[in-house]
Structure formats: C-alpha cells, structure tokens
Amino acid sequence: MQNMLGKVAFITGASSGIGAAMAREYARIGADVVVTARRKERLDEVAAAVRELGAEALPLACDVTVDGELEAAVGEAIERFGRLDHVQANAGFGVAGPFHKLTVDDYRRQFETNVFGVLRTVAATREPLIQFKGSLALMGSIAGFIALPDGSPYCMSKFAITALASSLYFELRPHGVAVTLVAPGFVTSEIRHRDNQGALIEGSEDPVPPWLSMDTDVAARQIVRATVKRRRQVIVTKHGKVLVFLQRYTPWLLRAFAKRTGVSGRKPAKARTSS
C-alpha cells in the first residue's frame, strides 16, 4: 500500500473495533494518527499501540453528539501536527427493535450519533481537508443499502450516510477532496454488545456466528486501502458484496428470502443469562 509517511489521519470512534484497528493500520503505513472517542483510557491504549508501530498518536476525548467538541479536537490536531490528510467519520452504534417497541427518542439518539455525529465531523474537518487535498471516509453499512425488519433506526441512519457520501462526493471533488463511502457487513467489534442506549453490556453474546464475522484488522486494512486509493465506495465482506448485488439486481429475491426465513435485524445486546 502507498506510504503515508508525514501524513495525518483523524479517526472518530477509535477506542474499539474498526476505528482502533484503522488507527493501527494507518500507523503501519507510516501515518500519524489522531484517535478520538469518549473513553479516554481506551484511547490511551490504542495510542500506545500506534506508537509501538513507530507512528505518532494523539488521543483526544471527543463526543460526536456534542456541538463544538469536534472543532476543539481538530484544533488540537492541527496545532500538534500542522495538517490533516485522512478523516474517518467512523463513530457509531446500533439501535434495534421493531417500530412498535421503540420511541421517537430511540430514533433521535440513533441519528444524533450516526448521522449528526458524522455531519459534525465533516463540518469540523472540511477546511483542513480542502487545504491538504485529503480524503474523507464516511462509515455507512450494508444496512445503508438493505433495510430488514427490526432494524429501522440503524438502517435509516446508514441510508442517510449513503446519501450524504453521494452528495459530498460531487461537492468536494472540485476542491480536491476524495469521498469514500465505507459499507461493511458483519465485522468483529463491540457493536453487537451494546444496548439501545449505546452502553456496553459486558459478557453479552454476539448473535453473529464467528465464521460470518470478518476479522477487525482485515476490515480495517480494506477500508484504509480504499481511502488511500480515493475510491468512491468500498463494500467490506463477501456476504456484504453478495447482498448489495442482490439488492441492486434482484431485490424481489432478497424480499422473498427475508419473508420466508423471517430474518430480521439484530436484537439489542442483553447480559448473558447463566443456565
């Protein structure tokens, strides 16, 4: 992969899962990394791993749902490194359940992180990205192409990201900024261990079997490579590619499969019950 020595990557949601793995991947290809999320102690661990790989790391506590925090983090990043080349708008979580069991506040909470959090990230990083002709990656999902029952808040939020990436692709191109829509299928992380408030449920079970879930480092490598290559879109995981293909060319087949099997979106994480 292209060397990114002297370049700087800014990642939201870098305290675990795909974001933390992307931080390590950027370090491997020579970039310095600004890692942001709410859990500072976890960010310090990620920053230590980045330094062990020979790159500089700046861990910054930053909540994407709070106005002004991203601007403050970007200000600190520029002060420390003098530039921003790659931005991964990655922070997110999932609100799950059938519509009749959810409230408007559940949808609002989902959008506040997955949609408005991404908008705040774009707003705070747009100018340095234009200045350094950088790359902006927006974390969508296969759920931004296919909406299953019991997953409407998450799917709605990711459909919004698909649309935002498409608009920004045209708007930022004339300024020399590449926009990449990132759409993973199942990847191993903490996402399916969180409840509808976004709280981590220690010891909860991942409903996705390990064989179907892509290794986090493999996913991060594919995402960083696509961002470096300034691709418009990257669909991560084989099952994700198949599903998006089917949705595009034979949506009736997917609908028939979903109706027949009763497949649905995931359930909110619950503590494991001892038997």
Ligand X SMILES: NC(=O)c1ccc[n+]([C@@H]2O[C@H](COP(=O)([O-])OP(=O)(O)OC[C@H]3O[C@@H](n4cnc5c(N)ncnc54)[C@H](OP(=O)(O)O)[C@@H]3O)[C@@H](O)[C@H]2O)c1
- The count of residues interacting with ligand X (CB under 6 A) is 31
Backbone angles phi, psi at 219, to 5 degrees: -60, -45
From the list 6, 38, 40, 36, the residue with the least C-alpha distance to 23 is 36
Q: Site for ligand X (CB under 6 A): which residue of 8, 18, 77, 129?
A: 18
Helix then strand count (H, E) for the chain reads 9, 7
Residue 113 contacts ligand X per CB under 6 A: yes
Pair 16, 41: CB distance under 8 Å: no
Q: Among 38, 83, 225, 241, which residue sits at the site for ligand X (rule: CB under 6 A)?
A: 38
Q: Which stretch binds ligand X (CB under 6 A): 51-59, 99-107, 119-127, 187-195?
A: 187-195
Contacts of 12 (CB under 8 A, 6+ apart): 19, 36, 37, 62, 64, 70, 88, 89, 90, 91, 117, 121
* Amino acid symbol at 171: E
* Closest approach of ligand X to the CB of residue 174, in Å: 28
Distance CA 134, CA 3 (A): 15
Q: Determine whether 26 is an active site residue.
A: no
Written as six digits, the tokens of 238 are 């084989």
Closest approach of Cβ 75 to ligand X, in Å? Answer: 17
Q: Which is nearer to ligand X, 8 or 191 (CB)?
A: 191
User: Looking at beta carbons only, is 163 or 256 nearer to ligand X?
Assistant: 163
Q: Work out whether 39 is an interface residue with ligand X (CB under 6 A).
A: yes
Q: Can residue 19 be called a binding residue for ligand X (CB under 6 A)?
A: yes
| Contact yes or no for 14/45 (Cβ under 8 A) | no
Q: Measured from the CB of residue 269, what is the shortest distance to ligand X in angstroms?
A: 10
Active site residue: 107, 154, 169, 249, which one? 154
**Window 226-265: residues binding ligand X (CB under 6 A):** none
Does 184 interact with ligand X (rule: CB under 6 A)?
Answer: yes
Among 9, 15, 31, 244, indicate the residue that binds ligand X (CB under 6 A). 15
What is the token pair recorded at 202?
A: 């220690």
Handedness of CA 185, 154, 145, 11 (dihedral sign): negative
What does R_g of the chain's alpha carbons equal in angstroms?
Answer: 18
CA distance 5 to 40: 26
Query: What would the x/- binding string for ligand X be over residues 140 to 179, using CB under 6 A?
Result: -x--------------------------------------
Residue with token string 């500072």: 40
Closest separation in Å from C-beta 13 to ligand X: 3
Nearer to ligand X, 58 or 91 (CB): 91
Please pick, from the candidates 179, 191, 226, 244, the single residue that binds ligand X as defined by CB under 6 A: 191
Distance CA 26, CA 4 (A): 8
Footprint on residues 57-86 left by ligand X (CB under 6 A)? 63-65
For residue 199, report the phi and psi dihedrals to the nearest 5 degrees: -80, 140
Footprint on this chain of ligand X (rule: CB under 6 A) = 12-19, 37-39, 42, 63-65, 90-93, 113, 117, 139, 141, 184, 186-187, 189-191, 194, 198
Positions marked catalytic: 154
